[in-house]
Structure 1
């Protein structure tokens, strides 16, 4: 979290109130949604230093981060106040980015698990009520598969769990996958024939083959490079 060298009048006013623990507890006790309020032990509220707001946006936004204990372990509440009169239509995504930055800071301090970070927006703009959704997934088009993607596990290509015979059917990517699957083994000679078979399929261009050979050499495996070259001579 960056230190903030300069402040605006808006920022000074916001911080004057919400840096006071008793005032902050009142604010959070009143404005946290009931389900989240029940999770939070506000008596453990602690002000954290610094800011996640980008330097060029400090005239438009102020932020403040609190750590506290929740019923599920250590957590944070992150409050942003929007000073500009016209609200940001991408504020939900901005809050998500700042919340992720707070999570990263938590990990950087040596913690192993991600913490719960509750982002909140304090709004006092000219349009009332606040006109935008604060669910960042609503920023995608209505027919977007974003919710299905981002609410589930991300795609994984685990070559360590793919049989070699299946990898050989993967056309232009087969050579990369086969080498990467076995590169941590000291001796690659046991897959030499498979490597040659893939190369002879004709999917690998000269530069890819050259890069592959250099890569294998750098890893100091005991596969015989001359043998590999001899068997690949038909390329």
Structure 2
């Protein structure tokens, strides 16, 4: 199942115009000038290994150079916390898969298209430190001259890297592109840091630009939902709600937040029902209902301290969970839900 990082990144950069903004920001200037960006198209194919689907996703685009030659641009969206030291080998494997697919689809072609691989990283544990070249993964004999001779015999391959965690905010703001792409770079950069709640109010103007753009209402919903998914504390949710109220009128903001809460309720309950059926016991439904209660409270801006959170998550009495669930729908404080005197 796709996670929030995967969904947000693919929604944002799966669109050719926004993908072009990302690629233009990273590719060397001479390559940018040679690409016919109007020809950029997304291909409906993925080569990411299934076991890695929760930590990354990929996008493949085709384009043409101004000379007419075909070009493939392979983008891996990396969002796992720890840096993968074997990324160069994985990227080489993914590119080879693309080459094999190309040969199957173009059996008469005597040449391969250029494939440019790019990793966009926004992990939570600091900057990217893994080697970007496959040749750096081989253990070569000591000595500068010997290493140079041996290096010429091993596979050579290098991927481009857009390490958002290493970029300063001013640099990301200076990038050109559609409003959603510019906001997404910032959100991905700070989404899992302790700075997010403080940063959000500074981006109100950019949020407004996203809303004013074509399809802006949908874009805004996607961004806010992602922020509510990744925000780990009440401060982030409160800041997101303030930003929303600054961009939209109060009624529209409440409608958006309300629709998100309803969706989280449905996801939580359905997840619990499915788990309960699969496991053949009630724990799945109980956990799903507990998670739905917490999601509703978060969406309504109700702060839940850790003790109360654990009380809700560990509750096994369905009657109590049902009661808390009903109260959460209209709660303004935590006591509205957990206080047994609450009506």
Instruction: Please tell me the TM-score bracket, short chain as reference.
Output: 0.5 to 0.7
Aligned-partner SS, 1:42: strand
Looking at structure 1, the residues matched to 26 and 75 of structure 2 have their Cα atoms a distance apart, in angstroms, of: 11
Q: Indicate which of 9, 18, 21 corresponds to 1:14.
A: 9
Residue 99 (structure 2) pairs with residue 96 (structure 1): no
Partner residue in 1 for 2:152: 147
Aligned-partner SS, 1:128: coil
Question: What does 1:113-192 correspond to in 2, within 5 Å?
Answer: 113-143=111-141, 145-150=150-155
Label 1:57 to 1:149 Cα distance change in 2 as closer, same or farther (>3 A).
closer
Question: What does 1:75-86 correspond to in 2, within 5 Å?
Answer: 75-86=71-82
Partner residue in 2 for 1:221: none
What TM-score does the superposition give when structure 1 sets the normalisation length? 0.57
Aligned-partner SS, 2:152: helix
Deviations 1:175-215 (A, max 9, x none): xxxxxxxxxxxxxxxxxxxxxxxxxxxxxxxxxxxxxxxxx
Contact 2:72 / 2:116 at 8 angstroms: preserved in 1? yes
Greater helix percent: which structure? 2
Looking at structure 1, the residues matched to 104 and 3 of structure 2 have their Cα atoms a distance apart, in angstroms, of: 29
Deviations 1:59-115 (A, max 9, x none): 011100000002471110000011210010010111111111111111110241211
Question: What does 1:53-72 correspond to in 2, within 5 Å?
Answer: 53-70=48-65, 71=67
Q: Number of paired residues?
A: 146
Offset of residue 129 of structure 1 = 2.9
Looking at structure 2, the residues matched to 89 and 139 of structure 1 have their Cα atoms a distance apart, in angstroms, of: 9
Contact 1:39 / 1:72 at 8 angstroms: preserved in 2? no
Label 1:72 to 1:149 Cα distance change in 2 as closer, same or farther (>3 A).
farther
Residue 18 (structure 2) pairs with residue 23 (structure 1): yes
Superposed CA RMSD: 1.8
Offset of residue 149 of structure 1 = 4.2
Looking at structure 1, the residues matched to 93 and 30 of structure 2 have their Cα atoms a distance apart, in angstroms, of: 23
What TM-score does the superposition give when structure 2 sets the normalisation length? 0.40
Looking at structure 1, the residues matched to 104 and 90 of structure 2 have their Cα atoms a distance apart, in angstroms, of: 21
Mind listing any 5+ residue stretches in structure 1 that lack a counterpart? 1-5, 152-235
Aligned-partner SS, 2:2: coil
Looking at structure 2, the residues matched to 93 and 56 of structure 1 have their Cα atoms a distance apart, in angstroms, of: 16
Partner residue in 1 for 2:38: 43
Label 1:40 to 1:126 Cα distance change in 2 as closer, same or farther (>3 A).
same
Name the larger-Rg structure: 1
Contact 1:61 / 1:83 at 8 angstroms: preserved in 2? yes
Mind listing any 5+ residue stretches in structure 2 that lack a counterpart? 142-146, 157-343
Residue 69 (structure 2) pairs with residue 73 (structure 1): yes
Offset of residue 147 of structure 1 = 3.0
Greater strand percent: which structure? 1
Label 1:140 to 1:72 Cα distance change in 2 as closer, same or farther (>3 A).
farther
